[in-house]
Amino acid sequence: MNNKEIYVTRPFLPPLDEFNEYLKEIWNNGILTNNGPLHQRLEQELADYLGVKHISLFSNGTLALLTALQTLRITGEVITTPYSFVATTHALWWNNIKPVFVDIEPETCNLNPQKIEAAITPKTTAILPVHVYGYPCNVKEIQKIADSFGLRVIYDAAHAFGVKLNEKNIVEFGDLSVLSFHATKVFNTFEGGAIICHDEATKKRIDHLKNFGFENEITVVSPGINAKMNEVQAAMGLLQLKYIEDIIEKRKILSNLYKKYLKNISGIRFLEDLKGVKHNYSYFPIFVNEKQYGISRNELFEKLKKEKIFARRYFYPLISQFPIYRNFDSAEQGTLEVAEKITDQVICLPIYPDLEPYIVEKICNIIKINSKS
């Protein structure tokens, strides 16, 4: 029986030979960064894969988020979700913007559009929702609210690479979408990220902002930052793209396996596939209802750890529960009640392309033997 440590994720690594070929190309070119040939090729290939016209690559997703907010000159207050990775809110903080947390929906764990309006003030300029676990937000309702109140929408699509909603890639929605290509994500470039926008002028502005604001050799048009993707990252991206459909298919098989084994355990809930959505199976969250299941989320988490299964509690605590953001908590009491409940129930189980099916079975057996049913 297996006795090695199993982590929540493992990056997909393409064959080393193929990566070496790209390294040779980089050495031959003598170009390491600054919109090099591989960078240009990856932008083109990603645009084709995602079915979008304009994409700008970044050294990581957090800098892409910071730059997205700068691109649209977002200020004042921004409505966002407390149920995400901290980088979502940090990006607001670094732009001197006040985050206003709004509750989520239990079915998708995403921002609840019905609760947005009550959080809008004269200072609100944008909505920053997250497609958590790659599950699409209610993009239609969110856009409707944004349109009636004159707000911009920037999606944190860090989890949602390759996800489609009714045949449209999820990054087509909103004013801007931001991807992360961090090692732990479905598609990785070691570290990396991107902004997707919808017109040439915005693409230009983003490209200036990520390169110190340079328009040309002697003209600086904005107080830009250095957030450029380098050629080694781009090489990794080109190889990931070659294998991406296989990566997602393998994740789907494992996700279905989890569902098969877990479906009859009382007190264990998981997310179902949504109609009209092509999922990427980036995470496999389960939600432990302590009363029905018998033991708490934290107890199950520890039991798994004892068996060397290192699951993760994404997302616990809520961003709004971190001391640095507590003062920004919504003024109305109890408005984050769904998020507060889910953050205490969630465990993300290991899922990655070369996770062996018998490990999934083993994990589900541990979950089963600890249930009271």
Ligand X SMILES: *Cc1c(COP(=O)(O)O)cnc(C)c1O
Distance of CA 10 to the CA centre of its chain: 16
Closer CB to ligand X, residue 152 or residue 267?
152
Q: Which residue is nearest to ligand X (CB)?
A: 61
Instruction: Tell me how far, at minimum, the Cβ of 184 lies from ligand X, in Å.
Output: 7
Instruction: Tell me how far, at minimum, the Cβ of 195 lies from ligand X, in Å.
Output: 12
Paired residues of 223 in beta bridges: none
Contact at 8 Å (CB) between 143 and 174? yes
Distance of CA 223 to the CA centre of its chain: 27
Instruction: Tell me how far, at minimum, the Cβ of 58 lies from ligand X, in Å.
Output: 8
Burial class (CB in 10 A: 0-12, 13-18, 19+), 35: middle
Closer CB to ligand X, residue 68 or residue 360?
68
Instruction: Tell me how far, at minimum, the Cβ of 134 lies from ligand X, in Å.
Output: 10
Residues at the contact surface with ligand X, assessed by CB under 6 A: 60-62, 84-85, 87-88, 130, 156, 158-159, 180, 182, 191, 193
Could you count the other beta carbons within 10 Å of the beta carbon of residue 315? 24
Closer CB to ligand X, residue 129 or residue 353?
129
Closer CB to ligand X, residue 85 or residue 284?
85
Instruction: Tell me how far, at minimum, the Cβ of 223 lies from ligand X, in Å.
Output: 21
Residue-wise DSSP of 94-162: TTT-EEEE--B-TTT-SB-GGGTGGG--TTEEEEE-B-GGGPPP-HHHHHHHHHHHT-EEEEE-TT-TT
Closer CB to ligand X, residue 138 or residue 177?
177
Closer CB to ligand X, residue 88 or residue 280?
88
Instruction: Count, in order, helices (H) and strands (E) of the chain.
Output: 12, 17
3-state secondary structure 274-319: CCCEECCCCCEEEEECHHHHCCCHHHHHHHHHHCCEECECCCCCCH
Closer CB to ligand X, residue 178 or residue 336?
178
Instruction: Tell me how far, at minimum, the Cβ of 148 lies from ligand X, in Å.
Output: 27
Sign of the Cα torsion 247, 169, 274, 185 reads positive
The pair of structure tokens assigned to 170 is 């999820």
Instruction: Tell me how far, at minimum, the Cβ of 178 lies from ligand X, in Å.
Output: 7
